[in-house]
């Protein structure tokens, strides 16, 4: 008990060091997206429901979708109200099922439906090289788009607004998704950055370190040559797609002591998105999990605000 009290006190002190930057007074509107950029993430076929069944002991559902050659396995955690807003959680690099379920429970408590898919495939595993990672990024966005396509017509939920949320690599994918899905009411990107090639050669994430060692040992690529390959291959970069996102639809969470997605890359994403609302916490990439509850609460507060904006816009004149 004493240890928990000390941990709670330490977390309170850390969170007192958080900084918040409000959205600009005149948020930047999105640039029109060229047809070639949108076509990159076109669905490869119609979205069809293969399976949908209750998850034992919960109010949730699990199911599978088909979309051309892609199969999407998902979990849908439902709030009490059929028309509750919905949050699409985008998986992290390693999948992170436990993290996704924990976040889903927090958002459901706040009155949101939550859905999330399994990751499109393992990342940074031999024999994956730059072009393979690009294809995986594109497939990851397509899986989220297929999920949104099914939700728009399903009978299980009727959300009055739909949001997206991703952490780390999930935040990077969420940036791309937000660019090609203007119908999203808002998005939250946490611990995410821009300029993927630089992130890949600069990150201390264990999976990335092992992948870089494999590329060095097998291909003789490291440092600048590896960076050049990645820069030539990774076209689906938040730096390229951020200008197509409306600044006022975005909430960012940044970490000050991050050696996985370093602060410079997080700042680059913030700038590319037009300096949206941003909460900065004095923690690292993994220690940020200590603040998961207040972070989810902050994201839910942002989504609540976007719901109010949408409701006010939809209200008849004079009401």
Whether residue 34 is contained in a domain is answered as no
pLDDT given at position 3: 53
The yes-or-no verdict on residue 14 having pLDDT over 90 is: no
Decide if 224 is inside a domain: yes
CA distance 315 to 312: 5
Tell me the pLDDT tens digit for each residue of 44-99: 999 999 999 999 888 899 999 999 999 999 999 999 999 999 999 999 877 688 99
pLDDT at residue 316 in the model: 73
In a domain, 156, yes or no: yes
- Cα(180)–Cα(168) distance, rounded to whole angstroms? 19
Look at residue 186 and tell me if it is in a domain. yes
Structure confidence at residue 318 (pLDDT) = 58
Report pLDDT for 285.
95
Q: Tens of pLDDT along 176-208?
A: 999 999 999 999 999 999 999 999 999 999 999
Question: From edge to edge, which strands make up the β-sheet containing 61-67?
Answer: 19-21, 277-281, 250-255, 186-190, 162-167, 86-90, 113-117, 70-77, 61-67, 47-54
pLDDT higher than threshold 90 for residue 162 = yes
pLDDT at site 314: 75
**CA gap 285, 255 in Å, rounded:** 7
252 lies in some domain: yes
CATH number of the domain at 178, please.
Answer: 3.40.50.1820
% of the chain residues with pLDDT over 90: 88
**Predicted model pTM:** 0.93
> Is 146 within a domain?
yes
Mean pLDDT computed over 269-288: 97
- Mean pLDDT confidence for 99-122: 96
Query: In whole angstroms, what is the distance from residue 155 CA to residue 123 CA?
Result: 34
Name the residue range of residue 288's domain.
46-307
Share of the chain above pLDDT 70, in %: 94
Assess if residue 20 is contained within a domain.
Answer: no
Provide the domain count of the chain.
1
Residues 233-258 have a mean pLDDT of 97
Asked if residue 101 is part of any domain, the answer here is yes
């Amino acid at each position: 008990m004493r240890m928990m009290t000390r941990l709670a006190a330490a977390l309170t002190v850390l969170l007192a060091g958080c900084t918040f930057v409000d959205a600009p007074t005149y948020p930047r509107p999105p640039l029109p997206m060229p047809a070639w950029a949108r076509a990159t993430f076109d669905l490869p076929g119609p979205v069809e429901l293969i399976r949908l069944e209750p998850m034992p002991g919960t109010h949730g559902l699990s199911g599978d979708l088909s979309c051309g050659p892609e199969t999407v396995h998902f979990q849908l955690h439902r709030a009490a109200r059929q028309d509750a807003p919905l949050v699409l959680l985008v998986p992290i690099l390693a999948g992170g099922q436990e993290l996704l379920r924990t976040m889903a429970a927090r958002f459901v408590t706040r009155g949101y439906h939550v859905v999330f898919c399994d990751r499109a495939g393992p990342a940074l595993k031999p024999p994956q090289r730059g072009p393979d990672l690009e294809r995986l990024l594109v497939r990851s966005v397509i899986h989220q788009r297929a999920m949104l396509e099914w939700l728009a017509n399903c009978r299980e939920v009727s959300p009055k607004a739909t949001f997206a949320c991703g952490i780390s690599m999930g935040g990077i994918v969420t940036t791309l998704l937000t660019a090609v899905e203007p119908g999203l009411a808002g998005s939250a990107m946490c611990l995410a950055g821009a300029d993927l090639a630089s992130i890949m050669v600069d990150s201390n994430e264990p999976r990335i370190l092992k992948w870089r060692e494999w590329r060095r040992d097998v291909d003789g690529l490291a440092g600048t040559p590896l960076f050049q390959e990645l820069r030539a291959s990774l076209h689906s970069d938040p730096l390229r797609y951020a200008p197509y996102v409306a600044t006022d639809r975005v909430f960012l969470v940044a970490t000050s002591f991050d050696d996985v997605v370093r602060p410079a890359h997080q700042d680059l994403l913030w700038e590319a998105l037009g300096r949206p609302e941003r909460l900065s916490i004095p923690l690292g990439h993994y220690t940020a999990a200590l603040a998961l509850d207040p972070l989810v609460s902050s994201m839910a507060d942002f989504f609540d605000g976007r719901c109010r904006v949408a409701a006010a816009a939809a209200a008849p004149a004079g009401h």
